[in-house]
Structure formats: structure tokens, C-alpha cells
Chains A and B, each alone.
Chain A
């Protein structure tokens, strides 16, 4: 059972426009959601997170929206730049057995974003 789903394998956007990457989840125990960016031949890099008790978090050009009732989150990139072209992973965090400490991260399959000049 896929707990985190990224239903769009790829997305192509024009430079300067908005990129919207979507993610759905089924596990109600997730207490945090993360977005990671991955370039070829490199490890993933952390982009932005959102707590399950919030509905929005913003960091520069990146904003993540969380709709708990719909079990849906989205990452908005405005304006999109060619350097944003990468694979984006959504992940949910299941709390560990020690209160708020780190537990298990469950990733989606990723969405490949291409930003065209």
C-alpha cells in the first residue's frame, strides 16, 4: 500500500511561471511532510517542510500547502527557474517511539520537473 503518492511522474513548465507539484497521502499518523529535490548523480537535498498542524509554509520561492481533510499537499515554486529542473520527492514522517524524535520517512516516487527557458 503506497502511503505517499505522487501521481504525476513529470511536469514541464515555462521559466517564470508557477510550478505546482502535488502529493497525496493515506497515513494519518504523519506529523511532518517534507519536500526534497534531487539532481542526477547527487543525493537528495532538503527543500522545505510543513508540520501536520499547519496549512502553509513559505521559504522564498517555495511554498508548501497542506490540506489535511483531503490528505493532500502541494509544492508551489514561483517563479520557476531552469535551475529548478530536478526530481522532487514528497515524504511523510511517522514519529518514532520516543515522542517527537525521528522515526520513519516514507517517500513518494517523485516528479521530474523540467523548467524550459
Chain B
């Protein structure tokens, strides 16, 4: 089954304790992205990657790191989490659009992170 998986689905942690949220897709997509969703703010892009070893900042990259060492995986790293990073996080992937047609993004089920 074609899908985007995220782990963990729920995480409660404390300020300053490094954590990694994994994202994996099995559709051979070049493009992957991380978003956070907060009440009243909608979805905001954190980082995206257009291929292995190619990453770029989205709208809200501060406090986050990413890496893209393999095509299928795009982990989100919080080196020193803070309470303002408490949020619902989504990973997404798609084929890289090279024509005029839009390439649909597939989203994972979300990771709910609470930083105390």
C-alpha cells in the first residue's frame, strides 16, 4: 500500500531533550516536506527536500533540522525542543513536478508532540 508513515504518532517530552520524528514513504517520491499545524494558524511548512541531500527552509524553520540521506526517509530533528514547538506535525511527499501538471502531495497521519 502506497503511504507516508510517521513515528511516533504521539510524543510527550521535556524542554531541551533532543528528539527525532521519522518520516518514510514507499512511493519513490523525490519531494518531501514537513509541516506543523497549530490552532488558528493552519498548516505551515517547516522544511522541504527536492531530492537526496537537497533541502531548503520553509516558512518556520527555526528550531528544526532535517536530513535527506535516503530518498525514502526525511527525519525531522528537534535538537533542543521548547514548549512553543508543541504542535501537530505532518510529513508529506510527492513526485517532483517537471511539467505543467500539479503533482499531488500525500500526507502522513501526523505526529502530536507535546513539549513540557
Known contacts A101-B50, A104-B59; A43/B102 CB under 8 A: no
The 8 Å CB contact of B41, one of A41, A49, A105, A109, is A109
Contact pattern, A 28-70, Cβ under 8 Å of B = 1, otherwise 0: 0000101010000111111001010000000000000000000
Residues on the B chain within 8 Å of A105, using CB: 33, 45, 105
Counting chain A CB atoms within 10 Å of each CB, the highest count among B35, B42, B99, B106 belongs to B42
Residues on the B chain within 8 Å of A96, using CB: 50, 56
The 8 Å CB contact of A44, one of B40, B96, B107, is B107
Residues on the B chain within 8 Å of A100, using CB: 97-100
A32 touches B102 (CB 8 A): yes
Known contacts A51-B100, A89-B42, A100-B99; A43/B48 CB under 8 A: no
Per the bound structure, the CA–CA distance linking A100 and B100 in Å amounts to 7
B59 touches A106 (CB 8 A): yes
The 8 Å CB contact of B48, one of A41, A91, A102, is A102
Residues on the A chain within 8 Å of B43, using CB: 44, 89, 91, 107, 110
Q: Which residue of A lies closest to B104 (CB)?
A: A46
Q: Which residue of A lies closest to B3 (CB)?
A: A43
B96 touches A104 (CB 8 A): no
Known contacts A43-B4, A44-B107, A89-B42; A101/B90 CB under 8 A: no
